Chains A and B, each alone.
Chain A
């Protein structure tokens, strides 16, 4: 059974369709890339999966269970976690507290405070932020804030992790570190869906890619199939061939 399955997922904003009748399946343990030009509906699809928005019409199933219309906190506790395209860290809290919050509330029942602190400390180490665990999140660099979001998401003990443009705005060294982090997360057995404009990252990390354009799914396949697909080159790589990598 796929870990996540969407059927006919659609979302309108006013009269405009943002996501149009998209079907998708995500298998346990895989890393799925979600690409498409700006405004293709990628982040909207993430918002639908993580229940920030409700699809209308369409259903989303997690391990066969219909999760459409559940509240975001429930989705999170059902072991789906996410990061944000524009980072949303708890700015005035120390990095450690950002992560502890995930351990407290991201699963039910939540952890005891002793366990939560230990878990959060380990996760900060895992993403490479041990040195700044007492620093308020707003004082971290963008790359570190993005890692902090990942640690916070991992603290909710997810089986499925949604990464929204984790590499955007990072320099080449940081991109490399981020890719390495994604690989290590996968090695933990966590299924990943990632939105990314940095094609190198997608090609290296993901086994499978879905391409969205104007809200609709126009292609799906292995990285090799995607880069050679005429349709994809036309709508996506055509206009971004130089910008992407």
Chain B
């Protein structure tokens, strides 16, 4: 396409910048203090959840509140098989389990439109938590499980690896014809179907791919918490946060959700350590303000300001 050739020089610059960022990220644990590693782990976790969420919901417009389900499945997979198998396989199984569950859930429910789908996926989080609790109390006679422990640096590198894979996947999907088809589903699903797009197949597959990354992240994060129970693993909070972060950052560009996740996670950690008592109040207020005044997110706002600035510059000359 002619648009691509025009921007290829610019995109090369972007690739170099991204590469440098990742090289820097890879060296962070070697030099940064322990606290930074913990913060970066939280940031990476939310970035992965948010970008995976946007991969499906951002383009198709189906608001999924299921991230907590897939994240939780990964956590439990790690708790059950962690230590019995090499850890990379554990992470893979965590992701695959979520992938399979998402295929099933997607095939059943992706005909629900609008708010129904959101409500359904939210119900699913709670169903998982309550069913699992019942199972543990009445069948296995336990409450919760211990998970194998790993160092922060190891956790960090695993998350970084998942993030790189996720970004590549998201980038490739966006660039491919399937990215275009996903957008068309979000904008006019009926027309997409009548233009030859196999909408069901595409929705379910993308939903499952996004679930894979959430599950893999869950499998890694479980080792940080060392002890988990159904309500820690299947916490609706992990469903809402990615949505909030994506909206805060802005979904127009791939890096919008990343910026949203980074800023809000940092803010969360900062508030929890400094203003634990007011954390929810401040966070809630920011959320409401962001929804009210940042319709296209932070990135949208910056773009708007940039456009206005460059217009003024043009007007001056």
Contacts and interface: CB of A to CB of B under 8 A. Distances in A.
B197 A105 contact: yes
Given A90-B188, A92-B187, A117-B1, A72 B180 contact: no
Contacts of A101: 177, 180-181, 184, 192, 195, 197
B79 to A, nearest CB: 40
Given A105-B195, A117-B1, A90 B183 contact: yes
B254 interface: no
Interface string B186-198: 0110111111111
Interface residues of A, number: 33
Contacts of B1: 113, 117
A93 interface: yes
A105 B177 CA distance: 9
A88 interface: yes
B188 A97 contact: no
B197 A73 contact: yes
Contacts of B194: 50, 52, 72-73, 75-76, 81-82
Given A110-B177, A113-B177, A102 B196 contact: yes
Contacts of A236: none
A75 B197 CA distance: 11
B195 A76 contact: yes
Interface in A87-119: 88-93, 97, 100-102, 104-107, 110, 113, 117
A77 interface: yes
User: Interface residues of B toward A: which range?
Assistant: 10 to 19
A68 interface: no
Contact of B196 (A73, A90, A91): A73
B110 interface: no
A152 interface: yes
A104 B191 contact: no
B177 A91 contact: no
B199 interface: yes
B191 A52 contact: no
Contact of A71 (B180, B187, B198): B198
A24 interface: no
Given A77-B196, A81-B194, A105 B181 contact: yes
Contacts of B191: 84, 88-90, 149, 152
Nearest to B197: A105
Contacts of A117: 1
B188 A89 contact: yes
B198 A73 contact: yes
A32 B282 CA distance: 65
A46 B255 CA distance: 42
A156 interface: yes
Nearest to B4: A113
Given A71-B200, A89-B188, 12 more contacts: A50-B194, A52-B194, A73-B197, A81-B195, A82-B194, A89-B191, A91-B188, A93-B184, A101-B181, A102-B195, A117-B1, A152-B195
Interface of B: 1, 177, 180-181, 183-184, 187-188, 190-200
